Amino acid sequence: MNHQLLFVEDGIAIIRLRGELDHHATQTIREEISQSLYRGTLRAIIWNLQELHFMDSAGIGLILGRMRDFVPSNGQTVILHPSETMKKIFQYSGLGSYVWDTSEEETIAALGGILNGQ
Amino acid sequence: MDNEMALSFIAISENEGLARMVMTSFIASLDPTIDELAEFKTIVSEAVTNAIIHGYEEDAQGIVTIRAKRNGRQITMTISDEGKGIQNVEQAMEPLFTSKPESERSGMGFTIMESFSDHLSVWSEPQKGTAITFTKEFQPIQSKIVMGER
């Protein structure tokens, strides 16, 4: 689909979502993301929504689902660049505190990783 | 100028995007702000998705209908299906309640629809269907200041 998944050294995954994230889109995206994520040992997922033009509660389901998978390994979740409307949706859903006001690079640095070749 | 429309489609998830696109065109003449448009599209998406996956279990046969009216700067819209209905509307509207946790539904649909609309009402009867009606008022267009032109 329209997203891009990158692995940063030291167990950090960056998911750059693009286009529109609704129930229809999550049906394919979920499968792809889950398969890729289970391949490595992860300690953090960064969701970069800069190029995401639309998201409804299906996006909440997608992110919460991946967080649930990470509980055993104490994985961390960070959400970057949501639109104002998406920010409200995260707040209503109790995910407001996962939204960081940093760039991708700053986030990776704060999590203690190195972004190669970017 | 006021306007009225109706749109019907079968219950497949692909039509969630279709519904958003058509309804975006319907309100285009109101010149909504980016946030107003995003909120409006989110309401449409939540209601249509509910009809498709809860009303009809994505059976590709049931018909979802959207009827909308534009009255000044107010939009009134009803999204209806003749699907299985909601057993307990009050419970369905509670934040985080979902009848489909296995398919990663967040249970936030009604909360989001209520928050992004000015008024929302739900009619539902088991085995008969569901209709969600909401209104949303759009802010007056800001007067545009043209500088450096004559």
| B22 occurs within a structural domain | yes
Q: How far is B106 from chain A (nearest CA, A)?
A: 5
The CB-side HSE value for A90 (13 A sphere, CA atoms) comes to 22
State which residue of chain B sits closest to A52, comparing Cα positions: B38
| Number of domains within chain B | 1
Q: Pick A79 or B142 by higher pLDDT.
A: A79
| pLDDT of amino acid A118 | 46
Q: Hey, what are A91's tokens? A: 């707040």
Residue A67 belongs to a domain: yes
Answer for the pair B104, A57: CB distance below 8 angstroms, yes or no. Answer: no
Structural domain containing residue B64:
3-137
Residue-wise pLDDT tens for chain A (118 aa)? 567 877 776 788 899 999 999 999 998 888 888 887 776 678 899 999 999 999 999 999 999 999 888 766 778 999 999 999 999 999 999 999 999 999 999 999 999 876 654 4
Structural domain includes residue A29? yes
- Residue A84 class from Cβ within 10 Å (0-12 exposed, 13-18 middle, 19+ buried)? exposed
Is A57–B17 a contact, with Cβ atoms under 8 angstroms apart? no
Six-digit token pair at A60?
């909440």
Residue B107 placed within a domain: yes
Task: Write the residue in B16, B108, B111 that is nearest to A22 by C-beta.
Answer: B16
Assigned domain for B56 exists: yes
Average pLDDT over chain B, rounded to whole?
93
Query: Active-site residue B88, yes or no?
Result: no
pLDDT of residue B1: 66
Task: Establish if B132 belongs to a structural domain.
Answer: yes
* Percent of chain B residues past pLDDT 70, beyond the cut: 94
A56: in domain: yes
In a domain, residue A79? The reply is yes
Instruction: Please report the pLDDT score of residue A6 as a whole number.
Output: 79
Round to whole Å and give the CA distance between A90 and B31: 26
Could you tell me if B24 and B16 are in contact, meaning their C-beta atoms sit under 8 angstroms apart? Answer: no
| Domain boundaries, position A12 | 4-111
Please write the tens of the pLDDT for every residue from B20-64: 999 999 999 999 999 999 999 999 999 999 999 999 999 999 999
CATH number, domain at A76? 3.30.750.24
* Rounded mean pLDDT, B129-143: 92
Q: Is residue A117 part of a domain?
A: no
For B3-27, what is the mean pLDDT? 98
Gap between the Cα atoms of A61 and A53, Å rounded: 17
Are B82 and B129 a contacting pair, CB within 8 Å?
A: yes
pTM of the model: 0.91
**pLDDT tens-digit series, residues B57-84:** 999 999 999 999 999 999 999 999 999 9
Per-residue pLDDT, A112 = 83
The ipTM, to two decimals, is 0.90
Residues of B whose CB is below 8 A from A65: 104
Q: Which chain A residues have any C-beta within 8 angstroms of a chain B C-beta?
A: 20, 22-24, 26-27, 30, 54, 56-58, 60-62, 64-65, 83-86, 88-89, 92-93
b/e code A34-65 from CB counts within 10 Å (16+ = b): eeebeeeebbbbbbbbeebebbbbbbbbbbbb
Q: Count how many domains chain A has.
A: 1
Averaged over B94-113, what is the pLDDT?
89
Q: What amino acid is encoded at A42 in this protein? A: L
A116 lies in a domain? Answer: no
pLDDT band of B103, cuts 50, 70, 90: confident
Q: Would you state the pLDDT for residue B78? A: 98
**Within a domain: residue B147?**
no
Give the domain CATH number at B24. Answer: 3.30.565.10
Residue A25 one-letter amino acid: A
Secondary element (H or E) of residue B22 = helix B15-26
